[in-house]
């Protein structure tokens, strides 16, 4: 809901104040989300990534973009990573890991990908808002981000629109996992950067 000072034609000062307020809301909500995380569940994801032969990521919409960002960082670590749906992504198989993100855990394309991964003998890590969903039931490990789902319009869990807090949480969580893996790996940043795309 808009602050009252934006109900009329906003001035630059009012817009500045609104932006400041909204940044604080976003930062505070993500801080609160981080404090509610079950870190033991996140820790359990680390060896799954480390021991996977290959890693596949899948997510829809903005969650999918967060997973693509994570795929780039894992690639920088020297891991073999694929984004589901890209034309060069191969078949998943035993020994591989699927990182799947879905707030509801019911997104049909994500659940279908997880079903195929499990059928092929791969493991699945689900990032979701719930442990009771078709996606969670297929997962080796579930990491719960206690954020609002897209159609939760009540504003009780988050003041942000749709699934914004979940999507931000996915990005921050996966960045934290990357930072942890990088710390264990110990390769200097300059060496990791040599793997960055150079055809851009």
Q: How confident is the model at residue 6 (pLDDT cuts 50, 70, 90)?
A: low
pLDDT band at 80 (very low <50, low <70, confident <90, very high): very high
Provide the mean pLDDT of the chain. Answer: 93
Rounded Cα distance between 98 and 114, Å, is 7
- pLDDT tens string 97-136: 999 999 999 999 999 999 999 999 999 999 999 999 999 9
pLDDT at 162 exceeding the cut of 90: no
pLDDT on residue 147: 87
Mean pLDDT in residue range 160-182: 95
Question: What pLDDT does residue 200 have?
Answer: 80
Closest listed residue to residue 29, CA positions, set 156, 134, 142: 156
Choice among 29, 53, 86, 167 that is catalytic: 167
- The whole-number pLDDT of residue 7 equals 61
3-state DSSP assignment of residue 147: coil
Tokens encoding 78: 């020297």
Say whether pLDDT at 49 is over 70.
Answer: yes
Cβ distance 100 to 127 under 8 Å?
A: yes
Contacts within 8 Å (CB) and 24+ apart, 106-109: 106/133, 106/134, 106/135, 107/60, 107/135, 109/58, 109/60
| CATH 3.40.1390.10 fits domain 12-193 | no
Give me the residue label for tokens 């694929």: 82
Query: Domain extents for the chain?
Result: 12-193
* pLDDT of res. 156: 73
- 106: phi then psi, degrees, rounded to nearest 5: -120, 0
Residue 191 known to be catalytic: no
Mean pLDDT calculated for residue range 153-172? 86
**DSSP-H helix ranges across the chain:** 12-36, 39-43, 45-51, 61-76, 108-119, 134-138, 164-185, 189-193
């Amino acid at each position: 809901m808009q602050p009252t000072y934006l109900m009329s034609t906003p001035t630059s000062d009012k817009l500045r104040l609104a932006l400041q307020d909204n940044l604080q809301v976003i930062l505070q909500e993500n801080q609160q989300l981080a404090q509610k995380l079950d870190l033991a569940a996140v820790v359990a994801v680390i060896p799954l990534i480390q021991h996977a032969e290959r890693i596949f990521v899948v997510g829809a919409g903005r969650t999918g973009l967060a997973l693509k960002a994570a795929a780039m960082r894992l690639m920088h670590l020297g891991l073999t990573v694929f984004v589901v749906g890209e034309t060069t992504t191969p078949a998943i198989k035993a020994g591989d890991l699927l990182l799947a993100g879905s707030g509801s855990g019911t997104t049909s394309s994500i659940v279908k990908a997880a079903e195929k991964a499990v059928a092929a003998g791969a493991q699945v890590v689900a990032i979701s808002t719930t442990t009771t969903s078709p996606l969670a039931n297929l997962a080796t490990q579930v990491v719960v981000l206690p954020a609002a789902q897209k159609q939760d319009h009540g504003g009780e869990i988050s003041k942000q629109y749709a699934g914004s807090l979940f999507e931000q949480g996915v990005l921050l969580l996966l960045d934290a996992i990357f930072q942890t893996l990088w710390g264990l790996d110990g390769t200097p940043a300059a060496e990791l950067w040599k793997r960055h795309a150079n055809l851009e």
